[in-house]
Amino acid sequence: MSIVRRIARPMLAAIFVVGGIDQLRHPASKVGPATPFLDRMIPALGLPDDKEMLVRANGAAQLLGGAMIATGRLSRVGGILVAGSLVPTTLAGHAFWEKTDAKERAMQRTQFLKNVGLIGGALLAAVDTEGKPGLAWRARNAGKVTRREARHAAKTARREAKIATQQAHLSVQDALG
């Protein structure tokens, strides 16, 4: 792992680990601001009607994803987990478009954009292969190698068949001749 990754991953992950712990320990403080959002999402997604448990689950996802990013263990999965958990957090906690006070709207817009930037960082962590080929590249490359080997095998088979045909003709001529 490069020095940049060793430093940047824990820096990115710190907010998710700390925020996740806070949501697990003190979910009630997050339920109030999340209630309007959860009231719309619970029936739409068929989620259980336990807002505190949903806030804790979101916190657990952020804590786990942040730990994965920070340690570099399954960091791609951690990036997806964190990005996915941050979307409802951002929509529920920073709905600046609903604010009427200009100062409050500006503050919530800043927090909303900060979270959008964190989602971007988490998505970058989700696609970072550390210089190693990803699964999509490996699949494409395996297909190319297979096609190349099949063409080579077909060419070899045609050459061998041609040689066998020539030898058979020579054997028939020798037998007749």
pLDDT at 138: 80
The tens digit of pLDDT for each residue in 115-154 reads 999 999 999 998 887 777 777 778 888 899 999 999 999 9
- My answer on whether 20 and 103 are in the same domain is yes
* HEC per residue, the chain: CCHHHHHHHHHHHHHHHHHHHHHHHCCHHHHHHHHHHHHHHHHHHCCCCCHHHHHHHHHHHHHHHHHHHHHCCCHHHHHHHHHHHHHHHHHHHCCHHHCCCHHHHHHHHHHHHHHHHHHHHHHHHHHCCCCCCCHHHHHHHHHHHHHHHHHHHHHHHHHHHHHHHHHHHHHHHHHHC
Residues of the domain holding 18: 3-127
- My answer on whether 50 and 23 are in the same domain is yes
The tens digit of pLDDT for each residue in 76-104 reads 999 999 999 999 999 988 989 988 999 99
Report whether 83 contacts 34 (CB < 8 A): no
The tens digit of pLDDT for each residue in 47-63 reads 999 999 999 999 999 99
What six digits make up the tokens of 4? Answer: 């940049």
Q: How many domains does the chain have?
A: 2
Report whether 108 contacts 96 (CB < 8 A): yes
- My answer on whether 95 and 147 are in the same domain is no
- My answer on whether 36 and 20 are in the same domain is yes
In which residue are the tokens 């020095």 written? Answer: 3
- My answer on whether 122 and 143 are in the same domain is no
- My answer on whether 161 and 84 are in the same domain is no
- My answer on whether 8 and 50 are in the same domain is yes
- My answer on whether 95 and 154 are in the same domain is no
Position 12 pLDDT exceeds 90:
yes
Q: Supply the mean pLDDT for the chain.
A: 91
**For residue 37, which phi and psi values (nearest 5 degrees)?**
-65, -45
- My answer on whether 21 and 79 are in the same domain is yes
What six digits make up the tokens of 49? Answer: 């009607």
- My answer on whether 166 and 119 are in the same domain is no
In which residue are the tokens 């050459």 written? Answer: 159
- My answer on whether 95 and 164 are in the same domain is no
Query: Please, what is the Cα angle at 63 between 119 and 34, to 5 degrees?
Result: 65
